[in-house]
Structure 1
Amino acid sequence: MKKPNYKIFSLIAAVILMSYSFTDRKDDIENAGLTLPAGFSAATISENIGRARHIAINKNGEVYVRLAKLVDGKGTLFLTDDDKDGKFEVKFSFGDFSGTGIYIKNGYLYASSNEEVFRFKLDKEERVIDPNNPEKIITGLIAKNQHETKSLVVDNQDNVYVNIGAYSNSCQVKDRSLESPGMVGCPILDSAGGIWKFKADKLNQSYNNGEHYATGLRNVVGLDWNNATNSLFVMQHGRDNLNSSWPKLYTEKQSADLPAECLYQIKKGDNAGWPYMYYDQIQKKKILAPEYGGDGKKEADSKFINPTVAFPGHMAPNGLLFYTGNQFPEKYKNGAFIAFHGSWNRSPLPQEGYYVAFVPFKDGKPSGDWEVFAKGFAGVEVINSTRQAQHRPCGLAQGPDGSLFVTDDVKGSVYKISYNQ
């Protein structure tokens, strides 16, 4: 009996594997490298535009992007797809200030630096009329080298809500130090660690003109106005350093897992508890912070509000969007998308996040468990260092056709996610 020609078999197998690999690579290219639920597709509509933070889409589907660092002296980009090839180019840039916050409402484009908020008048096509002369509506906000960015949103009564992050991890006497106690009364909370409310149409407002709307929020980068509940929702960045500051109370693994990143519904006068407590998503309890006498088990004062959803720790939620479009399937209507920028401090465990998650809502409340909606931004399966991540999702916006836009502030990409009806 003639022996099989194993070289031919090996060659055929190699060709088959190459064809599968080519197909996989082709699918990855077509979906911008992302893994999505069935029926969805993604495209990279712009690349290498700078450190793209939050994003706003006008009525014609044109794109405004805020930059964390100036590019050619400008901090806001306006992108259009004039030739309709699916790729957006920078039409012009404007604003000599960098930052994160941007929002379109009632004929104005709102944009924030780390200390101020501006608004630009829009024409009927929602293009900026006079990019060199914005109106300064808020000034003099605290910015002290930690949690400086000022995210913002505008409600339906011309009020602007601005996050002012705490310039501390947990209000210790000596920040991020071994067993340093918490400062009595946490003086940081008088001007930071919360949400402030201002008028959208009044110039040169400061703390004296604003309303201290909510407190006890360490840092909020993602926030949105939920029209179904007519209320503000925010995603808080939970605290760090449980093990490194309190090694007698917390193991490295506990510190990697805790505390939760929390979605809160915020109403006037609410207190989310920072720095006096954190939410433990494993015990499902509000826990007294070790800086204020906690031991990982003692429960916090009941006066602090409960989260709407508690996610695993240290995933850095940077974008929040309640979906109101009609393109996506019904389950997504009025649900919350969250862009998790990705952790840096979950060692010895791998880093986590680097994806867009989704929470279904019904009647203004979560109606099911949260799920990963879009992943693959990082480009690698296991992430031990943020430097390994090729892209990190940051901002979210909804296009007029119901598509979902996602920014990346590593290589400056903008993704457009669509449902193929």
Structure 2
Amino acid sequence: MKKSVLIPVLLSAMVFIALYSFKDISNSHLKGNGPIPDADNAGLKLPEGFGALKVAELGAKARHLVVTPQGDIYVKLARSKEEKGIIVLHESSDGKAQVTGGFGNYGGTGIYLKDGYLYASSNQEVFRYKLDAQNKVIDPNKPEKIITGLKAGRQHETKSLVLDNNGNVYVNIGVNSNSCQEQDRGLRSPGIEGCPLLDSMAGIWQFKAKELNQSYGQGVRFATGLRNVVGLDWNQQNNQLFVMQHGRDNLNSSWPELYNEKESAEVPAECLYALKQGDNAGWPFMYYDQIQHKKIVAPEYGGDKKKEADSKFIDPAVAFPGHMAPNGLLFYTGNMFPEKYKNGAFIAFHGSWNRAPEPQKGYFVVFQPFKDGKPSGDWEVFADNFAGTPEKAAAGRADHRPCGLAQGSDGSLYVTDDVKGAIYRIVYNKK
């Protein structure tokens, strides 16, 4: 081969080798540039192949949260800390996060990211903040108030929220009552006829996401008969609102001749409902008994724990064991987890307080499979041991209580804890 031909060939080969080596180095760097699970998976018990890390611990009651594609985390606090009710964190390449700021001098639960705005709620109002192209709040001191004057009592006062794809925001209005008795939680106290509380509480209200200072009169009572909803999400597969209701309490203490302590600990169900406008889930006139698989008339309204309720009340999509306090609901649409999780529902159960003398239950995140927008198959415990030990869970003295759920842009699952303000990130190790 002539020298004039050999030199270009050798140069081309050298360039190819250099590029190939650079590609290998680059790929090696990327493989190490992701969230690293803690050695003990942040204390959590997870299915095989999953890992977890504790992203941060805020030392405050962390409720719902959202995560941006740029690695910012917005966390809503139940009570403001140093006059900040929304805490902002930014993640580093290893998945750990540092607090970078905060704003909003009001406590609450709801927070949601949609169409260039961050939505957040206090216990009586809903605000929105304009975001820039990097999903950072442009002016945290000047939110737009879009809903005002929402009713809040001394129980079930939190306002969770979600948006659909048509410019509507949905807000839970929990009711400041257990079962609409004349004497709340009283012994053999009858239910108030017709339950007038339903006019402005115990349901989901729909408002416009872009209109300012809306009140009840400008909203729509989308669904009623829901004692209290904390976890809710919009199912993109069937374009429908799903909510988790907190079931009623005090069956034994109010009606001891009908319910023993064990029955009162197990019933009624914590229900997942698929809602359409005009639906009625039946509170306070009925509850769902997951053991009998029936809608049962409430004792306050003439029930005897066997009499079945009117068929006009909707059935739950899934009925979970009683008194586990579902506080977070998320439909998983990511690609990190195995295929079985796609479009299924994760539910964060905050944990019970009122099952004594039976052991307390909950303090975990469960997974409910879905197919074509409907529940399919049995639910399973996905992330456990937030309580710390089985003994702490049984006694109701949990170290951590899962509350909010969010999905990262890479498909990670984030979970908040409203005891110490821990933020967990659950990842899957693809093999």
TM-score range, shorter chain: over 0.9
Does residue 363 (structure 1) correspond to residue 372 (structure 2)? The answer is yes
- Whether contact under 8 Å (1:109, 1:122) holds in the other structure is yes
Does residue 34 (structure 1) correspond to residue 44 (structure 2)? The answer is yes
Cα deviation for residue 362 of structure 1 reads 0.4
Of 50, 53, 61, 2:63 maps to: 53
Does residue 372 (structure 1) correspond to residue 390 (structure 2)? The answer is no
- Whether contact under 8 Å (1:161, 1:196) holds in the other structure is yes
Partner Cα separation in structure 2 for residue 198 and residue 358 of structure 1: 30
Residue of structure 2 in register with 1:76 after alignment: 86
Does residue 102 (structure 1) correspond to residue 111 (structure 2)? The answer is yes
Of 171, 178, 181, 1:172 maps to: 181
Residue of structure 1 in register with 2:427 after alignment: 418
Q: CA RMSD in A?
A: 1.0
SS in 1 for 2:264: helix
Percent sequence identity over aligned pairs: 69
Does residue 347 (structure 1) correspond to residue 391 (structure 2)? The answer is no
Larger displacement relative to structure 2 (137-146 or 58-67): 58-67
Cα deviation for residue 85 of structure 1 reads 3.7
Residue of structure 2 in register with 1:130 after alignment: 139
Of 208, 224, 245, 1:236 maps to: 245
SS in 2 for 1:331: helix
Cα deviation for residue 28 of structure 1 reads 7.7
TM-score by length of structure 2 reads 0.90
Letter in 1 for 2:120: A
SS in 1 for 2:198: helix
Residue of structure 2 in register with 1:336 after alignment: 345
Partner Cα separation in structure 2 for residue 202 and residue 48 of structure 1: 33
Residue of structure 1 in register with 2:26 after alignment: none
Partner Cα separation in structure 1 for residue 414 and residue 95 of structure 2: 13
- Whether contact under 8 Å (2:38, 2:54) holds in the other structure is no
Partner Cα separation in structure 2 for residue 146 and residue 304 of structure 1: 24
- Whether contact under 8 Å (2:148, 2:213) holds in the other structure is yes
- Whether contact under 8 Å (2:386, 2:399) holds in the other structure is yes
Partner Cα separation in structure 1 for residue 411 and residue 253 of structure 2: 44
SS in 2 for 1:32: helix
Residue of structure 1 in register with 2:17 after alignment: none
Does residue 182 (structure 1) correspond to residue 223 (structure 2)? The answer is no
- Whether contact under 8 Å (2:38, 2:53) holds in the other structure is no
Partner Cα separation in structure 2 for residue 186 and residue 294 of structure 1: 16
| 1:202-257 per-position Cα deviation (integer Å, ceiling 9, x unaligned) | 00000010000000000000000000010000000000000000000000000000
Residue of structure 2 in register with 1:66 after alignment: 76
Q: Which sections of structure 1, spanning at least 5 residues, go unmatched?
A: 1-26
Partner Cα separation in structure 1 for residue 194 and residue 336 of structure 2: 48
- Whether contact under 8 Å (1:332, 1:360) holds in the other structure is yes
Cα deviation for residue 380 of structure 1 reads 1.3
Letter in 2 for 1:380: T
Q: What is the number of equivalent residue pairs in this alignment? A: 393
| 1:240-281 per-position Cα deviation (integer Å, ceiling 9, x unaligned) | 000000000000000000000000000000000000000000
Query: 1:17-416 maps to which residues of 2 (within 5 A)?
Result: 29-81=39-91, 83-382=92-391, 383-386=393-396, 388-416=397-425
Cα deviation for residue 296 of structure 1 reads 0.4
Cα deviation for residue 348 of structure 1 reads 1.2
Cα deviation for residue 86 of structure 1 reads 2.5
Partner Cα separation in structure 1 for residue 318 and residue 376 of structure 2: 11
- Whether contact under 8 Å (2:345, 2:369) holds in the other structure is yes
SS in 2 for 1:131: coil
Letter in 1 for 2:360: Q
Cα deviation for residue 29 of structure 1 reads 4.2
Cα deviation for residue 84 of structure 1 reads 2.8
Partner Cα separation in structure 2 for residue 393 and residue 129 of structure 1: 30
Residue of structure 1 in register with 2:21 after alignment: none
- Whether contact under 8 Å (1:405, 1:417) holds in the other structure is yes
SS in 2 for 1:256: helix
Cα deviation for residue 365 of structure 1 reads 1.0
- Whether contact under 8 Å (2:246, 2:271) holds in the other structure is yes
- Whether contact under 8 Å (1:28, 1:34) holds in the other structure is no
Cα deviation for residue 158 of structure 1 reads 1.0
Letter in 2 for 1:152: L
- Whether contact under 8 Å (2:353, 2:360) holds in the other structure is yes
TM-score by length of structure 1 reads 0.92
Partner Cα separation in structure 2 for residue 217 and residue 181 of structure 1: 19
1:28–1:65 CA distance, 2 compared to 1 (3 A): closer
| 1:112-155 per-position Cα deviation (integer Å, ceiling 9, x unaligned) | 00000000000011111100100000000001111000000000
